[in-house]
Amino acid sequence: MESALHHLSIYQAHKLLKEGQTTSVELTEAVLRQIEKVEGLVKAYITITPELALKQARLADEKILRHRKAGESFSPLLGIPISIKDIICTEGIRTTCASRILENFFPPYDATVVEKLKEAGAVIVGKTNLDEFAMGSSTENSAFFPTRNPWDLERVPGGSSGGSAAAVAAGECLGSLGTDTGGSVRQPAAFCGVTGLKPSYGRVSRYGLVAFASSLDQIGPITKDVTDAALLLSVIAGHDPKDSTSVDYPVPDYLKALVPEVKGVRVGVPKEYFIEGMEEGVEKAIREAIDCLEELGAEVVEISLPHTKYALPTYYLIAPAEASANLARYDGVKYGLYIPASELWEEYRLTRGNGFGPEVKRRIMLGTYALSAGYYDAYYLKAQKVRTLIKKDFDEAFEKVDVIVAPTSPTVAFKLGEKVEDPLKMYLSDVFTIPVNLAGICAISIPCGFSEGLPVGLQVMGPAFGEEKILRVAYAYEQATQWHLKRPPL
């Protein structure tokens, strides 16, 4: 029993803790053993915190014992080993954003989501690797090392939350928090054969999330199945006065949405998401998943999202423009890397030149150009207008259908190094995920099959604050299939 503890879902582990069949210390030790065993191959973590984890696990066990004696229920996260993407601030634990510029940064406070995890009694096992400042689709842009896909160590785990997705798939934690600016939770979840949920913009506090593109970033769960995604979302969702973009809107009980039944649910299939260049095996798996939903009683409707083709260029103007403004704070003056020089401008040049990697520099330059006088109207302003049209497409579609289903990515995980020299090719990995962030809506990626022996992800999109709808459809599909139970042969 104990050897398989690290492969349990959060929900299963909670049940065993409740029944006294295992302890948080046993769970945490099983996860730490798995990290020791496979981390050398996968490289999912930047920082591992075994002492802290075991201390939190011992405290959790004391609380569980008290609750059990009093016959009380307790938080489903109490005593559960979780990892956190290394772009979310953790008090006293190094937070690097996978960048040399923050290599030795120890935040003096916790992000709101981390506070909420701690209040729920979660055990933090470490901080996971990512593309530097979340800029990338493969986790190859980390300043430290690339993470590898547990299904095939020669391939990428996706990005930018590649470390989180790989850690969940490899049993190096029971769940993880990632961030999604243009698909960074969903695409790695698809590549690693796990579940990744991007909440609606404003549903989860961004306080303590190191900003990349403030109008697009969202924190979301990466888990082994849909139930766990609902559990984690329930804990981290909600209004936060410390984040002016967080919405004061009641948080429903997401577990109640998990009914294995979609009779009468209208499912839209956008014709623009089945494009040339999509891998045959991916299309086949997605079509079969849509057929499965139809067999379960869903009503499948073909829809159109006509401005989809403009999403990629729109995103690559808005996101770098916001990044250029957000990353201006790394100047070596207040915190982070500092390289002294004889004059201030030289200090800036040396600090930023040595501190940022090539992809981050590329995006800062793109963004600064788009925001510069004379180009602002032609690029940034126009991109914001197109963004409104993309949002309008979704608003109109959701008047006709309850959810929209599509592939998460046009391909399965590609080989390490395959797209590094061609940024445009790399950017195309996010062609199906980016529109969701531009529109501020919610979406989930769940495993729906394999192509060439690698996982394929099905994306279910819902209206803003329609998380219950996407969870219901994702859960019904998951319960009717076995894909979420497959484990990589590590």
- Total residues belonging to the chain: 490
Catalytic residues: 85, 160, 184
Rg (C-alpha) for the chain, rounded Å, is 21
Q: How far apart are alpha carbons 314 and 312 in whole angstroms?
A: 5
Domains and CATH numbers, the chain: 2-264+404-485 (3.90.1300.10), 309-381 (no CATH)
Q: Give the mean model confidence (pLDDT) for residues 54-68.
A: 97
Q: How far apart are alpha carbons 260 and 469 in whole angstroms?
A: 12
Q: Give the mean model confidence (pLDDT) for residues 404-417.
A: 96
**Within a 10 A sphere around the Cβ of 458, how many other Cβ atoms?**
28
Mean pLDDT of the chain, nearest integer: 96
Q: Give the mean model confidence (pLDDT) for residues 38-60.
A: 98
Cα angle at 237 between 444 and 195, to 5 degrees? 25
* pLDDT tens digits for range 461-479: 999 999 999 999 999 999 9
| In the block, residue with structure tokens 């066990």 | 61
Contacts 24+ apart (CB under 8 A), 245-251: 245/201, 245/202, 245/206, 245/214, 245/215, 246/202, 246/203, 246/204, 246/205, 246/206, 246/207, 247/202, 247/203, 247/465, 249/202, 249/203, 249/465
Q: Give the mean model confidence (pLDDT) for residues 361-382.
A: 93
Backbone angles phi, psi at 217, to 5 degrees: -60, 135
| Lowest pLDDT segment from 130-139, 421-430, 437-446 | 421-430
Closest to 339 (Cα-Cα) out of 352, 326, 329: 352
pLDDT band at 382 (very low <50, low <70, confident <90, very high): very high
Residue 335 has pLDDT above 90, yes or no: no
Which residues make beta-bridge pairs with 239? none
pLDDT at 38: 98
pLDDT at 247: 97
Residue 352 has pLDDT above 50, yes or no: yes
Q: Give the mean model confidence (pLDDT) for residues 80-98.
A: 98
pLDDT band at 231 (very low <50, low <70, confident <90, very high): very high
Reported pTM? 0.97
Strand order of the sheet with strand 195-198?
45-48, 123-128, 81-85, 175-180, 218-223, 195-198, 442-451, 454-462, 403-407, 266-270, 299-303
Cα angle at 291 between 430 and 472, to 5 degrees? 70
